[in-house]
Structure 1
Amino acid sequence: MPLRSDHTYGILSSLLCGLLLFSTLATAQPRYARADSMAHALKGAPLHDLYGLAQQLTLGLTMEEEKFRAIYTWTVQNLKNDTQLYTRTMNARKRLAHQPERLQAWNRRMQPKVWDQLLHKKKTLCTGYAYFLSYLAEQVDITCVPVAGYSRTSKNNVGGAGLVNHHWNAVHLNGVWYLCDPTWSSGLYRLWGKDDFQDPYFLMDPHHFVLTHYPVDTAWLLVEDPRSLQSFLDAPLVYPAGQREGLMPLRPQGFWVR
């Protein structure tokens, strides 16, 4: 049976709309698609020329945020966690927790070893992630500073007096300071030993970031009404899945162990 002209027009219109919708979906790209593709293209690049690496990662990218994203993604996906060094570091921090001068001296002795291990084996821990990211960003004139402080997981800094156990970064983009954690973004803070890019820790809202990170220098909280260290340590623990969804705990604000 022949189709009526209005019926034919309706079918063609539907097909055209479908094609346009498909075209729109097919060409839609995530916010950082270009930057991430630059990082993926240079996967496994050597570390003998960090200035050259930074220039390659940001080639053709014009926005500061895109440039930093490319450097961040490469750092997260190419550096691996050094489990032995992590264990040694945590043991030293616990052993010297009440001897700050000896702990600082130990840190100074370890810094060259950490950097050497990073450059030659691409293995490191949070300090290496933070300083490496900072150095690469500086090669393209982006201000990025390592931040030392307390991080909370199910095994660390839950109540008690607290232990400085982590490094992350603050980065200055387009006149605004942001926070990020390349170690946690790598998915390796649980020592999984595999790539598992946790995107929420890239330029996370400071009000969410402070649920699991508390800097020694409270200026890096980047919030107008900062909480105290003790309230941070005593607060309910928010897991990565909750932070990924932007959840904020309301009550209780603290907990007690009986």
Structure 2
Amino acid sequence: MATGKGYRQTYRRKPPKNKKSFPSVWLLLGMLFGVFLLNKPLFSRFISNDNLTAFTTTVLEKNFLPTSVVLTERISNPVAGNPKILPLTESDPLDKLAASLDYRGSSVEELAKILTPLASTESGKARLAYAWITQHIAYDVEALKRDRRELDLSTTGVLTSRMTICSGYANLYQSLAKAMGLKSVIVEGYAKGPSYLVGQDQDINHAWNGVKIDGTWYLLDATWGAGAIENDQFVAKFNPYYFATPPDQLIYSHFPAESQWQLLPTVYTRAAFDQFPDLSAPFFRDRLQLLSHQDNRTISANGQSEIRLNTPDNILIAAQLLDKTGSKLDQSYTFVQKQGQQAIVRASFPSVGEYELIIFSKKREEETYHQAVKYDIKAVAPGEAFPLIYGSFADKNAYLETPLTKSLPVNQASYFQLKVNGANKVIVVNQDTNQITELTPSSSFFIGSVVINPGKIIVAAQFPGNDQYWTLLEYN
């Protein structure tokens, strides 16, 4: 059973180096090949584990949630607060202060006496308790292998061992908040993750908290705020998103057993929760909107799926396809491009079967992509792979109309049509035969028919103020 967010993947790439041009047309070939080597693909097939945090999971076994120590007050008709009015920031100074307080005792009362004077408001006290727990208590991965009856999830046990599972986090937060003068409850329910079985999980698998601030209630999850599990090891990574998470966002991943703790004007059923797409924190941080595929599970009848999202101008999108074993497929089975503020994510499936499509987002100035959306897809027919996208394709805001298949018919003419904003020239190059065809500008597109001979086909563009050609696409 999942008690932490499913997958988070990171892509890193070095910016292409500048390369000066040569006046001779015949030397252009050499220059281009140098560019092709410098402009490495955004989605390289050879990314090592040193360069990315592949898939991050926090998983508990079924029926693992110990309920005997989960004692909480019954609240009737809690009123939801507005997270936007809390006087806190994403990188609040209280978070660093909490990280620096290395209390080594085992008493909640002692810890509360240390923390309480450091915050003058209820929101500050609630945040300080969250920040201390999430930055000083580790997730107990080994607990997954032990009998749950052996676990000490009391506040004394958690503070002594400095590790626990979701129930221990929730117990500690409730007790610490109470000792600091706040009212808090433990919320039990279901959390989505890699092992969550839609429509089949009947047993509660997670616990989080509600806290009352200035008369209204807010939701938080100290387990998910503390970090995640990578390769069976807990990796501490403080995440402020899971403090006072807006209820209309948390409902995509957390379903409380008591519907009142949805804190929403419209109450959702478990069946509706199961059908929600799996949205992660970056989806909301980057202000993405789904324009299609509002359900988690989709069926591809023609070997391909196309998902559309609305994205701000400064947000870039990437995608990764996995087979039913969780293995990553070649990047040519996904194709992402933007058309204005609309991101179009295409996935193609090499064979009939079950797949996961993960969509990532990042701000343009950031180096790494983070999981934003995950879909389960059943392909009932195979599809063709897409051309390989290079980093400059997204950087230069290019958009490809055709051809959208990786393999081009040999000894036949293929029609190219693509938009490359601000480009002077766009060329199609056969790296094996040294054949170069310049596409013709037409309105906002570059178009042209190219007879395809055997070899690797590259599409590249040249921009004002720089003789360098930037590699955009690669075909067979």
1:70 corresponds to 2:114: no
Alignment of 1:220-235 (within 5 A): 220-235=261-276
254, 258, 277: which one aligns with 1:236: 277
1:52 corresponds to 2:110: yes
More helix by share: 1
CA contact (8 A) 1:35 1:67 kept: no
Aligned residues: 209
1:181 corresponds to 2:192: no
Q: What is the rounded CA distance, in whole Å, between the counterparts of 1:166 and 1:76 in structure 2?
A: 16
Q: 1:122: which partner in 2?
A: 162
Q: What is the rounded CA distance, in whole Å, between the counterparts of 2:153 and 2:225 in structure 1?
A: 20
CA contact (8 A) 1:75 1:129 kept: yes
Q: What is the rounded CA distance, in whole Å, between the counterparts of 1:173 and 1:250 in structure 2?
A: 35
1:146 corresponds to 2:186: yes
Q: What is the rounded CA distance, in whole Å, between the counterparts of 1:60 and 1:131 in structure 2?
A: 22
Q: Secondary structure at the match of 2:173?
A: helix
The one-letter amino acid paired with 1:204 is: T
Q: What is the rounded CA distance, in whole Å, between the counterparts of 2:287 and 2:153 in structure 1?
A: 34
Q: What is the rounded CA distance, in whole Å, between the counterparts of 2:252 and 2:289 in structure 1?
A: 8
Structure 2 vs 1, CA of residues 167 and 110 (structure 1 numbering), >3 Å: closer, same or farther?
farther
Q: 2:199: which partner in 1?
A: 160
The one-letter amino acid paired with 1:51 is: E
Alignment of 1:92-107 (within 5 A): none
Structure 2 vs 1, CA of residues 248 and 217 (structure 1 numbering), >3 Å: closer, same or farther?
farther
Deviation at 1:170, TM superposition (A): 0.6
CA contact (8 A) 2:228 2:234 kept: yes
Unaligned runs of at least 5 residues, structure 1: 1-28, 90-106
Q: What is the rounded CA distance, in whole Å, between the counterparts of 2:290 and 2:187 in structure 1?
A: 25
Deviation at 1:185, TM superposition (A): 0.7
- Give the percent of matched residue pairs that are identical in Structure 1 and Structure 2: 27
Deviation at 1:230, TM superposition (A): 1.1
1:41 corresponds to 2:41: no
CA contact (8 A) 1:35 1:70 kept: yes
Deviations 1:198-239 (A, max 9, x none): 111110100001010000111100001021111111221113
Unaligned runs of at least 5 residues, structure 2: 1-87, 299-376, 379-476
205, 209, 222: which one aligns with 1:169: 209
The one-letter amino acid paired with 2:211 is: V
Structure 2 vs 1, CA of residues 61 and 51 (structure 1 numbering), >3 Å: closer, same or farther?
same
Deviation at 1:88, TM superposition (A): 4.4
Deviation at 1:125, TM superposition (A): 0.5
Q: What is the rounded CA distance, in whole Å, between the counterparts of 2:171 and 2:277 in structure 1?
A: 30
TM-score between both structures, scaled by the size of structure 1 = 0.72
Q: What is the rounded CA distance, in whole Å, between the counterparts of 1:47 and 1:146 in structure 2?
A: 24
The one-letter amino acid paired with 1:67 is: K
Deviation at 1:168, TM superposition (A): 0.6
The structure with the larger Rg is 2
Structure 2 vs 1, CA of residues 39 and 207 (structure 1 numbering), >3 Å: closer, same or farther?
same
Q: What is the rounded CA distance, in whole Å, between the counterparts of 1:110 and 1:127 in structure 2?
A: 14
Structure 2 vs 1, CA of residues 72 and 217 (structure 1 numbering), >3 Å: closer, same or farther?
same
CA contact (8 A) 2:221 2:242 kept: yes
More strand by share: 2
Q: 1:103: which partner in 2?
A: none
1:208 corresponds to 2:208: no
Structure 2 vs 1, CA of residues 143 and 250 (structure 1 numbering), >3 Å: closer, same or farther?
farther
RMSD: 2.5
Structure 2 vs 1, CA of residues 53 and 32 (structure 1 numbering), >3 Å: closer, same or farther?
farther
Deviation at 1:48, TM superposition (A): 2.5
Q: What is the rounded CA distance, in whole Å, between the counterparts of 1:157 and 1:243 in structure 2?
A: 22
Q: What is the rounded CA distance, in whole Å, between the counterparts of 1:246 and 1:208 in structure 2?
A: 12
Deviation at 1:30, TM superposition (A): 5.0
The one-letter amino acid paired with 1:122 is: R
Q: 2:425: which partner in 1?
A: none
TM-score between both structures, scaled by the size of structure 2 = 0.41
CA contact (8 A) 2:190 2:204 kept: yes
Q: What is the rounded CA distance, in whole Å, between the counterparts of 2:92 and 2:281 in structure 1?
A: 23
Q: What is the rounded CA distance, in whole Å, between the counterparts of 2:188 and 2:145 in structure 1?
A: 18
Q: 1:6: which partner in 2?
A: none
